[in-house]
Structure 1
Amino acid sequence: MISDREKNIVVVAASWLETSTTIISCEDADLPLGYIGTTANAIKLVRALCYYTITKMTSSHSSSPSDLLYSTAKRICSQVLQLDNSIRFAGLANHMGSLISYELRKGLVPLLNEEELKSYTLKTVLRMKTREDYESKLGDVIYTFALYKKIKRATIPLDHPNLAALTVSFDMAADHEGIIIDKILPMIRREKLLTTAVEA
């Protein structure tokens, strides 16, 4: 019997397959090769894909977010931007890797276009799901961080039935860790998007 976790991972993977063919070539460094590169995980992926196919054929689910979820996500993204002047971008994604809403700092010229942003978000959520394999030993992920030559970017996994992750980008000079720990995490806890606390 396929587990709920396998279902969750493959919904993201299948959504990715529908929007990108690069996963087949396995040449993109962003692809989760470590996850699907073993026989055991490949079998899990196939089993989960079968579940996804059946579910999709028998479901009338629409990929469009509800008005309530969209308005909530938009409000939270706006609040995140207001926490610090060095925050460039805030976006919220669902468990399928779809970008529900995002906000950019006023006057900012984005580095990624709309399609690139959606693709980046999808890959971010997929990578986040694969990290759950190690949480039983390492503890829950508080946030993940990537330092690029032009920006800093962090992803915070959420405890919410409809929202999977908050992605935030910062200016290079930003104290990203202080902003995340002291400003962003307390705010999203107040919004009931996060229940775990950072251990001292």
Structure 2
Amino acid sequence: MANTPADAWKSKIVQYRKKCQSILQLSNSVRYAGVINAYGRTLTGIVRSDVKPLLKSEQVKNEFFIISTLMTLRRDTVSAIGKLDYVLLQHLKVSIIIFQKDDLTYYVSIDRTEKNIDKIISSIKKTI
């Protein structure tokens, strides 16, 4: 029996969720790992169970919309400056690391107290 498009979609979401779980397991400093599409819609996302979210629901929607817009607009520059490796946003409380793979954006938030962020970035690249 052939998979329907809905079955294929569910399978993809499960794959993304497993990747997010793997990212959360890389370090106790990882607060959130999620995957968003080109329109800023969350396909899956996991907040570490012992972490209190810093953003409210509406703020998260706005954040993801801004990030997805940025990532979409950056695609036009790939031929001139090369493929994007990652984006690191340093805030006072958290660091946000953004990766793009195909048409998806991986959004990872890490406690600012983490000193070994380069190692986490390298591990995330291998995971996704």
More strand by share: 2
Instruction: State the number of aligned residues.
Output: 120
Match of 2:124 in 1: 184
**Candidates 97, 117, 121, aligned match of 2:64:** 121
Give secondary structure in 2 for the equivalent of 1:90.
Answer: strand
Once the two structures are aligned, what percentage of the paired residues are identical? 27
- Mapping 1:1-200, distance limit 5 Å: 66-159=9-102, 164-174=104-114, 175-181=116-122, 183-188=123-128
Q: Deviation per CA, 1:19-64, whole angstroms, max 9, x where unpaired? A: xxxxxxxxxxxxxxxxxxxxxxxxxxxxxxxxxxxxxxxxxxxxxx
User: Structure 1 unaligned runs (5+)?
Assistant: 1-65, 189-200
- Amino acid paired to 1:180: I
Give distance in 2, aligned partners of 1:145 and 1:71: 26
Give secondary structure in 1 for the equivalent of 2:11.
Answer: helix
CA RMSD in angstroms, aligned pairs only: 1.7
More helix by share: 1
User: Structure 2 unaligned runs (5+)?
Assistant: 1-8
Shift of 1:132: 2.0
Q: Give 1 or 2 for the bigger CA radius of gyration.
A: 1
> RCO (CA 8 Å, sep 6+): is it higher in 1 or 2?
2
- Amino acid paired to 1:176: I
